[in-house]
Amino acid sequence: MDLGALLTSQTLNMKSSLIRELVEMTRGVEGLISFAGGFPSPLTFPKQELAELFYRVIMEMGDDVLQYGASGGDRQIKEAIIEQENILLQPDEIHICNGATNGIFYALQTIMEPGDSLISEKPSFLGSLVVFEAMGGRIIPVSLDNEGLDTAELSAVINQLRQRKERVKFIYTIPDFQNPSGITMSRKRRESLIKTAIENNIMIIEDDPYSTLRYYGSKEESLFSLARNEFNNHQAVISIRSFSKILGPGLRIAYTLAHRDIIGYMNSWSQKINVTTDRVTQRVVAEYLKGNLLEDQIKKIIGIYRPLRDKMVSSLHKYMPEQVKWTEPEGGMFIWLTLPKGLNGDDLFSKALQEKVAYIPGSKFFPSGKEEYNCLRLNFSYPDEQQIEDGIKRLARVINTQLQQNERSDHGQSC
């Protein structure tokens, strides 16, 4: 067997592995402050409530939930989600999946073929980009501005692809507190995106792990809800939502909202690959939702994260050189830094580690071959306030040092 040839044909984009390696490099380093991971704070985990529910569910419902179940998810959790979402939904419009990436994978299996083009925000969540590339999709990036996906550029890109007779299957977006940028799509831009997608018969995949984590401003209506309520269209948007950021990523419970025909195909793929999502955890989450515990849990999370977000923003203003720009998100977990011309986030990473501060270089959030390097992502949900201030101060020192070295180098060349 030619293992080398076999691996070459099956190897996925390695950026996801690289990010895990970068994060792993930061573990156990004494005194290191990490803004690298996308981890929720353990302080937010409702451990006592979940422990009690796991015990009660197994003792009282074990004969049911320890048995095989429906591939698309238990009816109890679907009914609890319908109550929570406050959208007119039917159980056959919901698919329960093993984490949001699992939901994205099943959605792609349903609508995508190798060689199809797909449109994604630039920058975008690496985990999804890797899935798209692994399935043979050609990723076409479209820029973000402070209102979200640039729909004028989107229309131009779609026209170019149509002229080349390329199949464009979907538009991928994270409209609320986008990972990695922290940007939230405006209402006007959401309506423009849906209109463009419907006119061009292109589906939207709405990735929504963060919308409940809003610290300032007013909640925007989801693309899924807007498409149904304002455009009377039940087919334009597939929305994928997760409990990872509000209950704990280790639970691996997420769900997809979509037209029942799409959900039917996703259920079929789940049956082939997963058989069923963890039934015990599904029932625990269902009981958690039915117990009206989620509202207080979200308030608790916001009470923990808002001061951390504020501390990072204020520290950036306090320490960063004026040439550095950053987003100031109203929620979520991330801030995006844009470095001045001549600075490279990848090159600065090792220098930052020497100062015992870590981040994820921005190049990891672009499709292969289309990387941009003068940027980086910072996470504020995991470190505490003192670590945030100290870490930003260290990072600013690294950037200032590099700027000064570049200035001396440019001066020497001009002389």
Domain ranges of the chain: 13-38+296-414, 47-292
- Please tell me the predicted confidence (pLDDT) of residue 409: 73
In whole angstroms, what is the distance from residue 146 CA to residue 185 CA?
Answer: 8
Q: What pLDDT shows up at residue 252?
A: 94
Per-residue pLDDT of the chain (415 residues; tens, 9 = 90+): 454 444 444 444 455 555 666 666 666 678 899 999 889 999 999 999 999 999 999 999 999 999 999 999 999 999 999 998 878 899 999 999 999 999 999 999 998 888 889 999 999 999 999 999 888 889 999 999 999 999 999 999 999 999 998 889 999 999 999 999 999 999 999 999 999 999 999 999 999 999 999 999 999 999 999 999 999 999 999 999 999 999 999 999 999 999 999 999 999 988 888 888 899 999 999 999 999 999 999 999 999 999 999 999 999 999 999 999 999 999 999 999 999 988 999 999 999 999 999 999 999 999 988 999 999 999 999 999 999 999 999 999 999 999 998 877 765 555 4
Burial string for 1-16 (b: 16+ CB within 10 Å, else e) reads eeeeeeeeeeeebebb
Specify the pLDDT at position 113.
Answer: 86
Please enumerate in sequence order all residues whose Cβ is within 8 A of that of 8, keeping only pairs 6 or more positions apart, or say none.
Answer: none
Q: Which CATH number fits domain 13-38+296-414: 1.10.490.10, 3.40.50.1970, 3.40.640.10, 3.90.1150.10?
A: 3.90.1150.10
Structure tokens at 243: 């409990």
pLDDT at position 54, please? 97
pLDDT at 255: 97
How far apart are the C-alpha atoms of 224 and 241, rounded to whole Å?
A: 11
- Establish whether domains 13-38+296-414 and 47-292 are of one fold: no
Q: Residue 124 and residue 37: Cα distance in Å, rounded? A: 15
DSSP label at residue 203: E
Residues with Cβ within 8 Å of 99's Cβ and at least 6 positions away in sequence, in order, are 242, 244, 249, 252, 253, 254
Q: How far does the chain reach from its first CA to its final CA, in angstroms?
A: 61
Give the residue among 197, 186, 190 at the shortest CA–CA distance from 146.
186
Contact present, 40 and 245 (Cβ < 8 Å): yes
Task: Give me the pLDDT at residue 274, please.
Answer: 82
Residue with tokens 């990490």: 34
Rounded Cα gap, residues 243 and 183, in angstroms: 21
The neighbour count for residue 389, using CB atoms within 10 Å, is: 18
| CATH number, span 47-292 | 3.40.640.10
Could you give the C-alpha distances from 115 to 98, 138, 168, 323, in angstroms and in order? 26, 6, 10, 41
- CA pair distance 319, 393, nearest whole angstrom: 6
